Amino acid sequence: MPVQPVFVFDRSILDRLEDRKDARVQFIHEQVTKLDESLRKLGGCLWCAYGTPEEAHRDWLNRYPEVQGVVSNRDYEPYARTRDQRLEAMYRESGRWFVGAKDQVIFEKNEVVKDDGTPYTVFTPYSRKWKARLLAQGVPTHDSLERLPNGVRRGQEAPSVPTLSQMGFEPSSLPVPPMTWDSRRLAEYARLRDTPSQEQGTTRLGIHLRFGTLSVRKLLLASQQLSETFVNELIWRDFYQMVLYYEPESPFKAIKPAYDRIEWERNEAHFERWCSGQTGYPLVDAGMRQLNATGFMHNRVRMVTASFLTKHLLIDWRWGEAYFAQKLLDFDLASNVGGWQWASGSGNDAAPYFRIFNPQSQLEKFDKDLRYVRTWVPEFGTDAYPKPMVDHAWARQRCLERYKSGLAQAQS
């Protein structure tokens, strides 16, 4: 059966982006353009549209009545699930079929669950079941390059991929990390991953996993024998996708409802100092400045900055989640929400609320020579650098009291 690849630049998503130089949009545009060029070399092309998915698919169905159905890789985000339900209804009402396929995870939704069929809420038993299933069935692989040439649809031309300017965007100057890694980096991952000054300490492949330019199965096969720690990170990724599937309101509500009774500070001035990296805590400030300048933040520092916002400043985790969503090149809703609910104590398998990172001791442990801090906070140690905006001991005690009070109200 001939196959026609299609892609939609979804205005429902793009129109909400405030930054018209968003590097993620440029990255997607470059990858879609490359895909179209590759397909044309095979004698086909990419049907590409700019609009809503419903508009694009309705137009294709009207113009090409010979289309029999569509295969779509499943997405577990709430908007995507609603979108796909609407498209499925459209296809079935017109007498066509709609098939969803697993792609972006190793195991999805109900493939790794408890013996009674309910989802796991704690990572460790989930990871044990995940590894047991992997051992039993291995890693399935699908070489699309072997299947595509003889099956690509031919003789149906389509308009060229819309330009960035046609979609209201401009080129970005932010570089995207390359889709490269080597065995040495994976083998050293466990030793180096918590050192933010180590540029080769992590793979920085998040954006490629997020947008599907890198197969998670290929990465798992490459890392299985080299780093159990790295494989665990891939399991965390599956875990958070599963959590989002079963907790579709988690981007807006605490998974543990009692935590929505906590009285958050709505101090916009404090939030702005956190966003701009002017808190007076050098590891926090270095992380926020790295994020603002590059679209990337080291994972260890993500935990420290998130803990500082929610525990030291007592600012709602949803504010921080939204800011990371705006800035991170590798933004993924499931992992971002999962990480922020972990930091605030409100999510599945979250850090207990009384676990409050001391940003100074974190600095001494993971950047004792100040290489990372000096890179992003060059004025540190001078009069130009601000004093700490809150005292750690005072902030910790305030946090404990505020959390205890909110959780007590939920129980009463």
Catalytic residues: 233, 236, 264, 299, 317, 340
Provide the β-strand partners of residue 98: 70
Residue 226 burial (C-beta neighbours within 10 Å; 0-12, 13-18, 19+): middle
Q: What angle do CA 175, 181, 183 make, to 5 degrees?
A: 160
Place of tokens 């935990």: 303
15-24 contacts at long range (C-beta below 8 A, 24 or more positions apart):
18/326, 19/326, 20/168, 20/169, 20/170, 21/169, 21/170, 21/171, 21/172, 21/173, 22/169, 22/172, 23/172, 23/174, 23/176, 23/295, 23/329, 24/207, 24/211, 24/329, 24/331
End-to-end CA distance of the chain: 62
Which residues, at least 6 apart from 248, have a Cβ–Cβ distance to it below 8 Å? 78, 81
Residue with tokens 């069929």: 117
Tokens 């985000």 correspond to 77
Distance CA 406, CA 314 (A): 12
What are 105's two structure tokens? 């995870």
Tell me if 248 sits within 8 A of 81, measured CB to CB. yes
Q: How far is CA 77 from CA 251, 266, 366, 403, in A?
A: 10, 28, 34, 29
- Alpha carbon distance 97, 91 (integer Å): 6
What is the spatial distance between Cα 247 and Cα 71, in angstroms, rounded to a whole number? 25
